[in-house]
Structure 1
């Protein structure tokens, strides 16, 4: 269980480049990544290529200073939860946001098998709005 927690921790606590490298190395080939309904990238992505293109490439190109800062990790058996706060400025509107999140991971054989996002998507969507 401790090893699972360290796998997840390594995807949040370094530089963006280190976190990305660690995430790619940790994803199982058939990993599922579910972004919450109401979030701009809502849906389930399968496999590292789809996850990077559907989520992380968009975060890197559509936001300025986008961050996911974790304040608490909880591990139990093959599950690890990360709780924290997103922040960033949406380029198209210039609006900033902060939003609380929880990510629930399942780790199998040292690889991330799945991630499910829970987020205050209202705060994120307000940054995308031009109203």
Structure 2
């Protein structure tokens, strides 16, 4: 006699807002001077599709998230903030100050981090 197979219950996915900061997405879009419609057109979506990202009704695919990030010219720190990640363990104000200081020095945050890593490596090797 065959027994019915038991299937494991999948845990429900956490709500998008628990790992995706939609308020920052809105802030970054506005900083670029784009409307939802303009950004949606840039990434080949209809406005309603993109608006779903900002309301939290739709979770962007990895491809869509990449397109949005590139269109908004997000730096690595902003990407981490958007995804509610803090790999450096720095408070939000320090991260904002870092981005501001980089701009004042004519550097991108990625460029500044690259130079810091090179300088630190050279310093340690000479010590």
Task: Please indicate the TM-score interval, normalised by the length of the shorter structure.
Answer: under 0.3
Larger radius of gyration: 2
TM-score, scaled to structure 1: 0.24
Q: TM-score, normalised by structure 2?
A: 0.25
**Which protein is richer in helix relative to its size?**
2
Looking at secondary structure, tell me which structure has more strand per residue.
1
